[in-house]
């Protein structure tokens, strides 16, 4: 009886160790860098194209007032 319990404990331990040995490591989390730009009549529009060339992705635009022009708050992100 005692040998059966010992055998079960050893078998259970081997299964645990075997499971940990073949476990995949967690991939590193993606980190993001954020940038905001307020575009008004005082700032030029080519600045937006420059950010696209640098790998920034536009994630949100909040227009200034009720206008339909390009003035407002731009929020960009890119991977670090």
pLDDT in tens, 35-66: 998 887 766 566 677 777 788 899 998 888 77
pTM of the model: 0.57
Cβ neighbours around 66 below 10 Å, total: 5
DSSP summary character for residue 70 = S
Residues 6 or more apart whose Cβ sits within 8 Å of residue 69 = 63
Sketch the domain layout of the chain as residue ranges: 2-79
For residue range 1-43, list pLDDT tens digits in order. 778 778 778 877 777 776 666 777 888 888 999 999 888 776 6
């Amino acid at each position: 009886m005692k040998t059966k319990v010992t055998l079960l404990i050893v078998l259970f331990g081997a299964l645990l160790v075997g499971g940990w040995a073949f476990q995949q490591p967690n991939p590193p989390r993606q980190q993001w860098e954020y940038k905001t730009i307020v575009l008004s009549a005082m700032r030029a529009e080519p600045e937006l194209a420059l950010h696209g060339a640098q790998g920034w992705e536009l994630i949100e635009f909040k227009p200034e007032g009720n206008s339909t022009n390009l003035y407002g708050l731009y929020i960009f992100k890119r991977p670090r």
